[in-house]
């Protein structure tokens, strides 16, 4: 009788163990499926390639000029790169995206004539147009989680940017939370507020500095 009870317990534990493994696999499959683009593969590949290139450039820049936080930043962006690579593979993207060669450390600049201060143009008739920045820039996502935010290579942390998708007139206003390789790189939450279904790139965007 004792032997049968022991066997029963072992079988029960093994069954529970298998169920747990299958449950985790099912969850992973559901997450992967939900993040796989289902349409417009060419557009998705181009958007994913742009996002991948931006993150690779960020990692290369951090390695070229490291500071105390570079190691943590690089580890975070590497996780984003791995996720984007998985999405590219699922979308059938075959083009190779290489990390750009980082610019060398700047040394003493050569002597040059002093630059004349830039003269800002007079405000246009449309007051909103006068606030626009980064004319012609495309907008994509960094793959980072968290509350809606953006990163930028032109504006300091705390700057408020308004990004409008001119293809669907959706806009979001976010604060710059760190550096990146483009004028405005939106995280997942911010990009979801303005994206078009199945697209990872906003070609016609208006970027405005609002604070």
CA atoms within 13 A on the CB side of 46: 10
Assess contact for 158 and 199: CB atoms under 8 A.
no
Grade residue 181 by pLDDT with cuts at 50, 70 and 90. Answer: confident
Q: Which residues lie below 8 Å from residue 45, measured CB to CB, with a gap of 6+?
A: 88, 91, 92, 93, 95
What predicted TM-score, i.e. pTM, was given to this entire model? 0.45
pLDDT of 111-164, one tens digit each? 666 666 665 555 454 444 448 898 888 898 888 898 999 999 989 999 999 999
- Going by pLDDT thresholds of 50, 70 and 90, the confidence category of residue 101 is low
**pLDDT for the residue numbered 17:** 40
């Amino acid at each position: 009788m004792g032997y049968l009870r022991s066997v029963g317990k072992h079988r029960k534990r093994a069954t529970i163990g298998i169920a747990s493994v299958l449950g985790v696999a099912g969850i992973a499959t559901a997450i992967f499926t939900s993040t796989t683009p289902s349409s417009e593969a060419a557009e998705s590949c181009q958007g994913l390639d742009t996002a991948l290139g931006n993150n690779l450039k960020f990692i290369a820049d951090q390695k070229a000029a490291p500071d105390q936080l570079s190691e943590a930043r690089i580890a975070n962006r590497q996780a984003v790169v791995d996720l984007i690579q998985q999405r590219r593979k699922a979308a059938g993207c075959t083009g190779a995206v290489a990390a750009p060669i980082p610019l060398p450390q700047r040394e003493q600049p050569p002597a040059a004539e002093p630059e004349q201060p830039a003269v800002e143009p007079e405000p246009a008739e449309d007051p909103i147009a006068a606030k626009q920045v980064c004319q012609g820039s495309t907008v994509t996502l960094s793959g980072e989680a968290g509350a809606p935010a953006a990163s930028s290579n032109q504006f300091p942390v705390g700057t408020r940017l308004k990004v409008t998708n001119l293809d669907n007139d959706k806009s979001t206003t976010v604060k710059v939370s760190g550096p990146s390789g483009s004028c405005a790189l939106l995280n997942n939450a911010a990009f979801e507020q303005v994206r078009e279904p199945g697209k990872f790139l906003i070609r016609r965007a208006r970027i405005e500095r609002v604070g």
